[in-house]
A = this chain, B = another copy of it.
Amino acid sequence: MEIINRQKAENVKIAYVGGGSRGWAWQLMTDLAMEANLSGEVALYDIDFEAARKNAVIGNRLGENPEACGKWAYTAYEKQQEALKGADFVVISILPGTFDEMASDVHTPEKYGVYQSVGDTAGPGGLVRALRSGPMFQAIAEDIKTVCPNAWVINYTNPMAILMRVLYDTFPGIKAVGCCHEVFHTQDLLCTALEKMRGTAGVKRADLVTTVQGVNHYTWITKASYRGMDLFPMYREMAEKYRENGLVEDGDTNWMNNSFKCVEKVKFDLFLRFGAIAAAGDRHLAEFNPAPRYLKNPETVKSWGFGLTTVGWRKEDLKRRLDRAQKVYDGEESLTLKASGEEGVIMIKALLGLGDMVTNVNIPNIGQISNAPLGVVVETNAALRDHFLAPLMTGNMDETLLSLSMPAMSAQNEILRAIRHKDARLCIGAFINDPLLCELQPEDAVKLYKEMLENTKKYLPGWNLEVE
């Protein structure tokens, strides 16, 4: 890469691992196209080479758009190492396995009366997904160590926390961060609150200052201010006002029509009980709590104002996206140049020295949360500067919040152990102890675990899957 000055960098090489299923890759492509001060190569790698190739075509075509001020050459590679070689940045966004395995992750537990709203982070689905993804991330980390050890690595894949841990465990010298937009959405909610509760419209989340502590998808905003004004009293008013019926939006984006929406009732409930702002979508938050609370059964879920995202829906959604991809590839449709709201490109700029930033990241705890276990991947703010990243010190986490997070934190240890030793027994404690399985008798939990492992076993070659 070449840093022209503190505004501009050229010949930057970004390797993109995954992205065959389009969503995240296209977002990065459009964000890059809209950024005038960066240019270079994007090297695409996906286990589905054809998908990567098509993405390259689409990416290059995007650059021809006269409004695209960022100039990038997209190339698809057949081998991961080739794509990574010499990269300045590596972006990881893969689907670990297929939606068939995800269907098992999400729906097999339903046979046992266990419902999951997402199933990709916590709960039995998140754990089995972690096992399946572990070897993939070990391989990625090994390749990075070999061909681009100094690259900055940005991961978007879930289950975020444990996969970041696998990266650092495999290659301790890696410079990797996990990025997630769930906190952003909660910051947006604070802006909404400023409008609804205080009549202050037009505030953007970048105008707020928040302190963030937790594990990804169960992160807490423990302080929030706008121009020095503490936002907690305002948030409390909103929580009290909408605790009963939720914060319902109209139309298309209504939660009943949209798998990804919620009415924030879980968030308000958690705030009124524990005094901090849970900073993820309700669908994620619910999964970190004992099943009977928010996910007892579909009726309970409905009463809390969110939906269970089925994998059937995801498959259809994927089909729609693939159809559109084909059209874009065929030139029948084109990508619109609209900012994604993600921060990947801003982070890349910051790490290139084109402007400092502070944002929430997922990295191993070296003490940024003083009383959380060291080594566990946590989510806090960090300062990103010219080739530099350091977490902001947050001090101790409130011990009640810490106790809520500890099952997820300690599960990281067990899952990592299982991945290291290729032995599914080594995280059986984490599985049985998962809050979503608290209603199962232990023997039923084990039976479920066996069944889920069976459904994902082709991704776990050489593993011991005999659990009991």
Let me know if A273 and B429 touch, CB within 8 A: yes
Cβ of A388 within 8 Å of any chain B Cβ, yes or no, is yes
Q: Is the CB of B392 within 8 A of A391?
A: yes
Cβ of A253 within 8 Å of any chain B Cβ, yes or no, is: no
Asked if A407 and B413 sit within 8 Å, CB to CB, the answer is no
- The answer to whether B388 touches A399 (Cβ under 8 A) is no
Q: Mark A416-456, 1 if CB is under 8 A from B, else 0.
A: 00000000000011101101001111100000000000000
- In the bound assembly, the distance between CA atoms of A438 and B227 in angstroms comes to 39
Task: Please provide the chain A residues from 365 to 385 with a CB less than 8 Å away from any CB of chain B in the complex.
Answer: 366-368, 370-371, 373, 381, 383, 385
Could you tell me the distance between the alpha carbons of A228 and B350 in the complex, rounded to whole angstroms? 12
Decide yes or no whether A6 CB sits under 8 A from chain B: yes
Q: Complex formed: what's the CA distance from A275 to B427 in Å?
A: 12
Contact, CB under 8 Å: A393 / B413? no
* A208 → chain B closest CB, angstroms: 8
User: A100: CB under 8 A from chain B?
Assistant: no
Say whether A390 contacts B388, CB under 8 Å: no
A442 touching B273, Cβ below 8 Å: yes
B residues less than 8 Å from A357 (CB atoms) = 356
- In the complex, are the beta carbons of B387 and A358 less than 8 A apart? no
- A359 vs chain B, min Cβ distance (A): 11
CB distance from A180 to the nearest CB of B (A): 20
- What residues of B have a CB within 8 angstroms of the CB of A234 in the complex? none
Interface centre among A211, A395, A440 (most CB of B within 10 A): A395
Q: Tell me whether A393 and B390 are in contact (CB under 8 A).
A: yes
Q: Residues of B contacting A195 with CB < 8 Å? A: none
Instruction: Please indicate the chain B residues that have their CB under 8 angstroms from the CB of A410 in the complex.
Output: 399-400, 402-403
Chain B residues with CB under 8 Å of A407's CB are 403
- Tally of chain A residues near chain B (CB < 8 A): 61
In the assembled complex, A404 has its CB within 8 A of some CB on chain B: yes
> What's the nearest-Cβ distance from chain B to residue A41, in Å?
18
Q: Does A249 contact B (CB under 8 A)?
A: no
Q: How far is the CA of A363 from the CA of B378 in the complex (A)?
A: 25
| Beta-carbon contact of B429 and A275 below 8 Å | yes
Residues of chain B with a CB closer than 8 A to A209's CB = 385-388
The answer on a CB contact under 8 Å between A366 and B370 is yes
A414-B400 in contact (CB<8A): yes
Once the chains bind, are A392 and B392 in contact (CB under 8 Å)?
A: yes
Known contacts: A366-B370, A400-B410. The answer to whether A442 contacts B392 by CB under 8 A is no
- A-B contacts, 7 of them at CB < 8 A, read A292-B438, A356-B358, A390-B394, A393-B393, A400-B410, A400-B413, A403-B409
Known: A393-B393, A400-B413. 12 other contacts (CB 8 A): A3-B227, A225-B386, A227-B386, A292-B438, A356-B358, A358-B383, A366-B395, A383-B383, A392-B393, A399-B406, A403-B403, A438-B438
Taking beta carbons and an 8 Å cutoff, which residues of A are in contact with B? 3, 6, 207, 209, 211, 225, 227-228, 269, 272-275, 290, 292-293, 296, 353, 356-358, 366-368, 370-371, 373, 381, 383, 385-388, 390-395, 399-400, 402-404, 406-407, 409-410, 413-414, 428-430, 432-433, 435, 438-442
